[in-house]
A = this chain, B = another copy of it.
Amino acid sequence: MNRAQKNAARKELLNKIMSAASDKYLSELESRYLPRVQAYLSDAVGTQTEISPLLRYHMGWTNLKGVAEAGPAGKSLRPILCLVACEMAGGEWSTAIPAAAALELIHNFSLIHDDIQDGDFTRRSRPTLWSEWGVAKAVNAGNTMRVIADKAMLELKQGEGDSGTAIKAALESTLRCLNMIEGQYMDMSFEGSTRVSVANYLDMVGRKTGALIESAMYIGALIATGNKQTASEFGKCGRNLGVAFQIRDDYLGVWGNPQNTGKPVGSDIKRKKKSLPTVYMFNQASKNDLKWLETAYSQKDLNESQVRKVLEIMNSLDGAEYVQYQANIQAEKTKLRIDKLNVSKESKSQLSEINEYFVNRKK
């Protein structure tokens, strides 16, 4: 195959992937679960302390002036996956709402601190907390979010009447939160080195993104059944889903359509993010390209022409296909795990729909 043929084949493959993406089932779950999760979250975050306005702004409920508005919301994947796991494992999903909300709060704690650590000025097209209120208050806001999460998780017992389940859920979320923080640390360490293996990258995202999604499905199933073994099988499913989601995120960060993702073209390249496309490129680049890359990446930010050249190198190495291939491997692993779950045929097909959407989504 010559270069032109390769490009055509790649384009066809990618178009096919894009057109397959549908979030129909996820949208159904959103409509069913999220109003009650949102109500719980709003109560839990509260309005009473000096820090409340920062938290409500970050959650997208108010603007910078504290006026209520429906700002751009997150995807709420963790609560949805927690509640769907609870329901599929035979539980009453509403009993798991405090846990679902806690997971969303832990996720948002990590976002607030990540934005500080990565020096990001915008999230969901709005200024980040630290860029508006300063690092000191943003650190505090993240910590507050995390404590409110703990409180919600420990409140499980009231819905459950079983403090054993609450302890197990709290311990699980604590351990996965530790993994998440370890992953964030690995991610920061990667930024200082140009050579990161794909294995190290997968280990990092397994912690940073996979662990909390693992705990979402684990805890949902645990609340439904009280059985650690069942919970663990759902949890493993969640971990793979999380890794696949992150790899697709990395894909969209380079090759996504800015109109869908809301991020400018090449934004992940510009800020030298060690996402899978970059990791792959550094491992595969020719000696000459590598020399150029190492010089470029030793600078603070990449300029427009450097971003273009990096993109050229990535494309010359079939980076998009490679990254999507890695996402698909994770989706295959998830499929095997879904097949093993002791749930109805319908549930399996619904989980498969989520699985496919995660690796094919456009935004």
State how many angstroms separate the Cβ of A161 from the closest Cβ of chain B.
Answer: 12
Chain B residues with Cβ below 8 Å from A151 are: 171, 174-175, 178
Cβ-based interface call for A146 (8 A): yes
* Contact A144–B181 (Cβ < 8 Å): yes
Known: A116-B139, A117-B135. 16 other contacts (CB 8 A): A51-B182, A113-B140, A113-B143, A117-B139, A118-B136, A136-B188, A139-B139, A140-B185, A144-B182, A146-B146, A148-B178, A150-B174, A151-B175, A151-B178, A163-B164, A167-B167
Residues from 129 to 152 in A contacting B, C-beta threshold 8 Å: 135-137, 139-140, 143-144, 146-148, 150-151
Cβ-based interface call for A303 (8 A): no
Interface residues of A: mostly helix, strand, loop or mixed?
A: helix
Which range holds the interface residue count of chain A? Answer: 35 or more
State how many angstroms separate the Cβ of A317 from the closest Cβ of chain B.
Answer: 29
* Contact B184–A140 (Cβ < 8 Å): yes
Cβ-based interface call for A189 (8 A): yes
* Contact B137–A185 (Cβ < 8 Å): yes
Cβ-based interface call for A265 (8 A): no
The answer for the CA separation of A183 and B284 in the assembled complex, in Å, is 52
Chain B residues with Cβ below 8 Å from A137 are: 185, 188
Cβ-based interface call for A293 (8 A): no
Chain B residues with Cβ below 8 Å from A116 are: 135-136, 139
Q: Which A residues contact B (CB, under 8 angstroms)?
A: 49-51, 113, 116-118, 135-137, 139-140, 143-144, 146-148, 150-151, 154, 157, 163-164, 166-167, 170-171, 174-175, 177-178, 181-182, 184-186, 188-189
* Contact B117–A50 (Cβ < 8 Å): no
The answer for the CA separation of A139 and B147 in the assembled complex, in Å, is 16
